[in-house]
Amino acid sequence: MTHDTAHNTGDDHVLPFTVEGANVRGRAVRLGPLVDQVLRRHAYPEAVSQLLGEALTLVVLLGNSLKFKGSFSLQTKGDGPVPMLIADYTTGEDTQPGHVRGYAVYDKDTDFAKYENSFSRLTGSGYFALTADPTGAERYQGIVALDGESLAHCAERYFQTSEQIPTAIRLSVGRSYTRAAQRMAPEETAGQWRAGGILIQHLPKTALEARAPEDSADEHEDWRRCRILMQSATDAELIDPDLTNETLLYRLFHEDGVRVFPGQRVDFGCRCTRDRLAGVLIQYSRQVLEELLQDGHISGSCEFCNETYRFSLEELAPEKLREP
């Protein structure tokens, strides 16, 4: 394994890499405190948490590869008991970490234990959308049918059909029951949530780079081999708190050679604020605000972070109290 510079490859960190001589680039991510914080805030059923954990991991792998400043979001909308998943990634400034958030909508009357984490049964039929929103530029959205076996398959199909870039993705979400994890959260008996993922993409040679007809066959074989090697990573390896991204990449691609590049941290970050919610509420009339009162306060919650803000009517818009 070769390095461009020294880098930190612990939890909540994205590591770009290339497989030497195979025209394959990729990213590896391992999420610890970030995914645990998001999933614990919502306390979803286990199957729903698994899906949202995969969405968070995938949006980090995709969003971190963007060359612009702005945000990148992933959304599923279907007719199953989990009709909506939303995850978004906001780029960090210069060396600052990127920020990730997400939430799920689910049917609270569903017995999710019967679904055995089946993606197609949980989400149903609908669409899978990826949206890039560059700062100061036009937003772009790509949509494919929500009919794959997993979120990873939906994203792979999007890149194959919309971008014509062969892509392979491996995602894993689970709980850690290590002693270290229990020391960090001794009050929790169910273990800490962890997630990990790898994305690789094939960059075909240009006409100038291809020297002989057999080159295309070699290219195909290189890609097939890298895809098989990546898919051989186990769920346990992808979320192992004692296994760095670098070590895992070496295990997978050491025969070809793998070069890693400076990575970036990712943190949980929600864009909601008390002032922003107040700015929305003050646009309503006094009559509407009074209808929203409960126990003398108006409450508003953010779907992403599950934070609830409480306001008095006078605090929101004292001038409305004088309205006839």
Which domains are assigned to the chain? Answer: 9-205+215-242+253-268 (3.55.30.10), 274-322 (3.90.1280.10)
Q: Give the tens place of pLDDT for each residue, 63-76.
A: 988 888 889 999 99
Report the pLDDT value the prediction gives residue 321, as an integer from 0 to 100: 43
Pairing verdict, β 258-260 and 2-3: parallel
Q: Is the pLDDT of residue 250 over 90?
A: yes
Q: Is the pLDDT of residue 93 over 80?
A: no
Amino acid identity of residue 118, one-letter, is: S
Report the pLDDT value the prediction gives residue 275, as an integer from 0 to 100: 80
Whole-structure pTM value: 0.84
Share of residues in the chain with pLDDT > 90 (%):
54
- C-alpha to C-alpha distances, 223 to 158, 216, 220, 259, 282, nearest whole angstrom: 18, 11, 5, 16, 56
Q: Which two tokens mark 220?
A: 């195909």
Report the pLDDT value the prediction gives residue 183, as an integer from 0 to 100: 56
Q: Give the tens place of pLDDT for each residue, 31-63.
A: 999 999 999 989 999 999 999 999 999 999 999
Q: Which two tokens mark 186?
A: 């001794």
DSSP string for residues in 5-29 = S----SSSEEEEEEETTTTEEEEEE
**Strand partners for 262:** none
Q: Indicate the average pLDDT of the chain.
A: 85
Cβ neighbours of 239 (radius 10 Å): 24
**Rounded-to-integer distance, Cα 227 and Cα 168, Å:** 6
Q: Give the tens place of pLDDT for each residue, 251-283.
A: 999 999 999 999 899 998 877 777 877 777 878
Please give the angle made by the CA atoms of 73, 78 and 83, to the nearest 5 degrees: 80
Share of residues in the chain with pLDDT > 70 (%):
85
Report the pLDDT value the prediction gives residue 190, as an integer from 0 to 100: 64
Cβ neighbours of 91 (radius 10 Å): 20
Q: Is the pLDDT of residue 189 over 70?
A: no
pLDDT-derived band at 25 (thresholds 50, 70, 90) equals very high
Q: How many residues does the chain have?
A: 324
For residue 129, the number of C-alpha atoms closer than 13 Å in the C-beta half-sphere is 17
Helix (H, G, I), strand (E, B) or coil at 257: coil
**The CA-based dihedral angle spanning residues 222, 228, 229, 232, taken in that order and rounded to the nearest 10 degrees:** 180
Report the pLDDT value the prediction gives residue 5, as an integer from 0 to 100: 46
Is the CB of residue 90 less than 8 Å from the CB of residue 271?
A: yes
Q: Give the tens place of pLDDT for each residue, 136-178.
A: 889 999 999 998 889 999 999 999 988 889 999 999 999 988 6
Report the pLDDT value the prediction gives residue 9, as an integer from 0 to 100: 59
Report the pLDDT value the prediction gives residue 179, as an integer from 0 to 100: 60
Report the pLDDT value the prediction gives residue 207, as an integer from 0 to 100: 46
Report the pLDDT value the prediction gives residue 85, as an integer from 0 to 100: 97
